[in-house]
Amino acid sequence: MIRRNYRFSGEEGFHARPVSEFVKIAKTFSSAVTIEFENEIYDGKSTLSIMCGCIEDGCSFSVCFCGSDEEQAAAAIESAMVRTNGYFVPVECIEDQPPQAAETACRRDNEYLVLSDGIAVGNAVIFRHAHRPATQQACADPQAEYARFQAAVEYIRRQLELERSEHEGTQAAGILDAHLEILHDKHLSGEIGHRIQTGMSCEMAVQMVSDSLEAQFSELKNLRMQERAADIRDVAGRLLEALTGATDRPRLTEETCIIVADELLPSDTISLDLKRVAGLITERGGVNCHSAIVARSMGIPALSNVPGATEKIGAGERLILDCEKGIYIANPSQAEVDQFLEKAAQNRRLPEQDDMCVQVTTPEGYPVELSVNILSAGEMEHAIAHGAEGVGLFRTEFIYMNRTQPPGLQEQTEIYETLLRNAAGRPVTIRTLDAGGDKPTPCLPMQPEKNPFLGMRAIRFCLAHEDVFRTQLRALLLASRAGKLRIMFPMLATVEETAAAFRLLYEEKTALEKQNVQTGAYQAGIMIETPAAALMAPELAKLADFFCIGTNDLTQYTMAADRELAALKDLHSPYQPAVLRLIAMAAAAAQKAGIWTGICGESGGNPLLAPLYLAMGITEFSMAVPQLADVRSSLLHCGRSALDALLQRVLGCATAEEAEKQLNDFARKRGE
């Protein structure tokens, strides 16, 4: 056994973020790693266990390593925690512990607590976390229930990794790292899994284990660590959202707002839109909670410990938040508003803006991506030069065409890596093999069919030929380290085949991890291109990170009209009401589930339809490069009220001709 003595160096103590760094390293070794502090032993591979130790700045402790690779483990911990980030200072022996550290420099003014300085003016948005007790306490099939829980854990892991990649280099990244470790901690997920296997339902197990851990943290001697119970609530809340499909996030208005909440969890604060959220008022939340840390790092004025705020302040009420004095003013006079708006303009810190081209946003300020459809990595430079913000569709079936043997793992990995690198950090959506139909692929074992568009094509072929599919999935996972990857499954019609596709992806990732092969963050979504998928969108949204509407096939299958048959061209009009209603239905289901929706196919680059799709909640458009400028122009400066009215009028049309007329009228009025 190897024992090393250290003194912790860090103002906030050995809290979630440095703990997650320590645990991440410790888990890579087979040796047992423990921390001894004040006659207690804590598991060095458990974030929650170490946090319970309440090791403060200046405290001395021992780290013990025992096992076949103990020397390598000790060296890795020393390298990271001593030489790289300076959290650990080697000492000869355990020293007397210092007095408990003072709290972070947040101020208490009057009866309230200032978490983040600044001044804000806005309308109140009231937000209360919903308490949804588990309706089912037991499960009939523990094995199936446990598989459901594992799928939820995998979904949240992907979600956290994606968010973490989007906040690289910020305070939020460290917090999301900690949440990833908490998600996989044996005291959380391990205990939940154990209870499920004894017959408890997923939801009940999550609630009971998280409640138990929160109670344990509330009794810790250190206030800073007591506040970390919010991180457990946050991760458990994400799990419940994934399991139930019920989302629990502040709903913002068009106007600049001040969120008034019972409590804001770290994920609530990290996801805030700085263009619309001017300040925060909460009933509870400590000075060192992660939400307070994020608010300070984002420059959002925040006031806490405001009793009954969500009851006293009315929704939409005008507010002034002055965190220089630690007060808020409800229903101020216009003179007061003008005075504080001037001060707020001077104090407000905004993120850097990208001036390269005009950024399209929703009326609420959320970014809208204008992407391109491409066939090869070589097209990327040209697309970027013309304003492409990513790749919305890369068709992999063309890699399989005109050859006698399917592409191998290395060849596919190199193709996807090159594409991701050429995108230079922009998102790239790669569609998995969509063979069959009008895409003959002699290198694949596909049998002749009388009606190939309704036959063994796309995901159906892939699930029937797992060897081909697994090779592609593994190549995509290996390539994910090279950029911002989105994996998209085509031609889905049922929950069962969707779950099967995600299961194979998860199995391939797990197999790589067992070989110590790291993958990058990625999203995995599905195409909505069958009426069945559109109708089942609420259920499918629980499995996917995003939807992409494939308008070509969706129109063909909805209208029962071959898109290649000229005599039926009217039936294949992109303005067909049946198709537009299905698209609206799918987009609404995605919004309710908290995932985004994109659109590709011919109408994805139609500037006449673009505002309608934006009104539906679609925020990613994929098209040919020459269509970028017109679509961008059609989407700029679209107000919410005008979009909502357009959506209502078009969805009320009975014919494609009427729908097209409404869209032309909208475009003409905007141009006047």
Q: Which residues are catalytic?
A: 290, 600
Which is it for strands 88-90 and 2-8: parallel, antiparallel or unpaired? antiparallel
Closest CA to 477 of 529, 514, 532: 514
End-to-end CA distance of the chain: 80
Amino acid at 601: G
Closest CA to 288 of 333, 349, 225, 342: 225
Evaluate whether 624 touches 647 at the Cβ level (below 8 Å): no
Which is it for strands 32-37 and 60-66: parallel, antiparallel or unpaired? antiparallel
Cα dist. 15→82, 173, 207, 288 in Å? 16, 15, 24, 10
d(CA 377, CA 581): 35
Q: Which residues pair with 121 in a beta bridge?
A: 320
Closest CA to 390 of 382, 380, 398, 375: 380
d(CA 641, CA 671): 17
Evaluate whether 486 touches 546 at the Cβ level (below 8 Å): yes
Dump the DSSP string for 40-81: EEEETT-HHHHHTT-PPTT-EEEEEEESTTHHHHHHHHHIII
d(CA 165, CA 176): 10
With tokens 């269509």, the residue in question is: 627
Length of the chain: 672
Amino acid at 369: E
Burial of 423 (0-12, 13-18, 19+ CB in 10 A): buried
Evaluate whether 575 touches 663 at the Cβ level (below 8 Å): yes
d(CA 522, CA 484): 6
Secondary structure class of 616 (helix, strand, coil): helix
Half-sphere exposure of 133 (CA within 13 A, CB side): 2
Evaluate whether 396 touches 432 at the Cβ level (below 8 Å): yes
* Strands across the sheet containing 40-43: 40-43, 32-37, 60-66, 2-8, 88-90
Amino acid at 660: E
Residue 134 Cα to chain centre, angstroms: 24
Closest CA to 610 of 580, 576, 634, 590: 634
d(CA 626, CA 623): 8
Cα dist. 158→201, 367, 385 in Å? 23, 21, 31
**Sequence-ordered list of residues with C-beta below 8 angstroms from that of 53, at least 6 positions apart, any chain:** 14, 35, 37, 38, 40, 42, 61
Residue 478 neighbours by CB distance under 10 Å: 22
Residue 251 neighbours by CB distance under 10 Å: 8
Evaluate whether 504 touches 464 at the Cβ level (below 8 Å): no
d(CA 288, CA 113): 11
